[in-house]
Amino acid sequence: MGKHILILEDEPNIVDSLTFILQRAGFEVSSVADGAAAMATIGDIHPDLVILDVMLPNRSGFDILRDIKGQPDTESLPVLMLTARGQARDRQQAEALGTDEFITKPFSNEDIVETVKRLAG
């Protein structure tokens, strides 16, 4: 079984696309569409990498990233921020909160797979 990737994204087409390309690359994939459920899901499945959207219902990706990087049991969990919000201040905020990588939508499948392979080990 490959590394487990958790996708925190509320857009079904993006979840389907990411799931398809990552499973084809040998990863196990789970997804959550609600920001409020993110930390509980991370605690339940212990993913090897989180792909995190900034704009989620009920909780922002920035808040989730702050929680992931601020807790001893998840602070080393790699996080790939994947967002349509590509302004410099969004990137700076994500980097200040500890994101491991920042990719804007639309994205290239090849970039996603290569980045996930590198971050997930």
Write down the pTM of the prediction: 0.96
pLDDT(68) > 80: yes
Task: Look at residue 83 in the predicted model and tell me its pLDDT.
Answer: 92
Q: Tell me the pLDDT band of 1, cut-offs 50, 70 and 90.
A: low
Distance of CA 116 to CAs 5, 7, 33, 58, 75, Å?
A: 8, 11, 19, 26, 17
Burial of 19 (0-12, 13-18, 19+ CB in 10 A): middle
Q: Which domain range does residue 81 map to? A: 4-120
Task: Look at residue 85 in the predicted model and tell me its pLDDT.
Answer: 79
Domain count, the chain: 1
Q: Is the peptide bond before 106 cis (omega within 30 degrees of 0)?
A: yes
Domain containing residue 115: CATH number:
3.40.50.2300
